[in-house]
Amino acid sequence: MYFLIGLSASLLGAMAGLGGGIIIKPVLDLFGHYDLATIGVLSAATVLAMATVSLIQVRHMDANVDKKIGLLIAFGSILGGFLGKGLFNFLLNQVNSASMIGMLQSGLLAIILAIIFLYVRYKGLLKSYQLYSKGIILSVGIILGMLSSFLGIGGGPLNVAVLYLLFSMNAKNAVVNSTFIIFFSQLSALALIAVTEGFGDYDLSMIGYMIVGGIIGGFIGSKLVNKLANVRIELVFNSTLMMIILLNVYNLIKYIL
């Protein structure tokens, strides 16, 4: 089951630049087998495997990684990730209720994803931009990293929406650049845990199955995205996003009841 979760999440994540964490987090939250911190580690490891395989395939794809923009956002995401992780730990200690934090995450995630869904659905009616300021791009990365780390989602849909809006990228370029950013953000998240608290307190018995699923899903997804037209990629993105919104709403109701 955990292999299939890693496989399906990474397949959709690689195809639409979602990363996979946006799917893994609410699905594992729904099952309730692991606490929120462990879910974050399982998700980060799976997504890192997916992103690594996907980026290896980029040279064969009809899309380009903008390393200048990608590295600035990625570096900002790493800084923001520290802030988001700190905020998560602070609230967890203050509230002392994983259920309350889970409810907050599910509610915020449903709202943010609904906004992204509407934007991508109607972005043709809205103006897009092309940012060049390094300071602003870095600040965008910090905000993305903080939100992604706090919500435990890897940042995929947030990255894609920002790349559409602020850098006028098409769907394929947004997918590969989002994956590029995700790679560094997830690598830094796992490295931070490794050098601070370590992994000894986490139940990672299923991590191997999920990583294998992430590798296979990343390989297949990156092959498919190269064959799909931009409009098809956006359809996959929006369809997956709607499914995740409904799942988060269900999780929110479950926490409330």
Angle, alpha carbons 102-97-152 (nearest 5°) = 30
Predicted local distance difference test score (pLDDT) of residue 74: 86
Predicted local distance difference test score (pLDDT) of residue 154: 67
Q: What is the mean pLDDT of the chain?
A: 85
Query: In this predicted model, which residue has the larger pLDDT, 43 or 106?
Result: 43
The pLDDT of residue 112 is above 70: yes
Q: pLDDT-based confidence at 208, cuts 50/70/90?
A: very high
Predicted local distance difference test score (pLDDT) of residue 145: 85
Helices and strands in the chain: count of H runs, count of E runs: 10, 0
Predicted local distance difference test score (pLDDT) of residue 191: 86
- 239 Cβ neighbours under 8 A, 6+ residues apart: none
- How confident is the model over 142-190, as pLDDT tens digits? 998 888 878 777 678 888 888 889 998 888 888 888 888 888 888 888 8
- Buried b vs exposed e over 235-254: b needs ≥16 C-beta within 10 Å? ebbbebbeebbebbbebbee
Q: pLDDT-based confidence at 123, cuts 50/70/90?
A: confident
Residue 45 contacts residue 184 (beta carbons within 8 Å): no
Residue extents of the structural domains in the chain: 2-256
- How confident is the model over 11-47, as pLDDT tens digits? 988 887 777 777 888 888 888 888 878 888 898 899 8
Predicted local distance difference test score (pLDDT) of residue 181: 85
Query: In this predicted model, which residue has the larger pLDDT, 41 or 226?
Result: 41
Sign of CA dihedral 119, 70, 51, 5: negative
Average pLDDT over residues 76-101: 81
Least confident stretch, 57-71, 118-132, 197-211: 57-71
- DSSP secondary structure string for all residues of 49-113: HHHHHHHHTGGGSS----HHHHHHHHHHHHHHHHHHHHHHHHHHHHH--HHHHHHHHHHHHHHHH
The pLDDT of residue 232 is above 70: yes
Query: In this predicted model, which residue has the larger pLDDT, 91 or 164?
Result: 164
The pLDDT of residue 137 is above 80: yes
Query: How large a percentage of the chain has pLDDT more than 70?
Result: 98
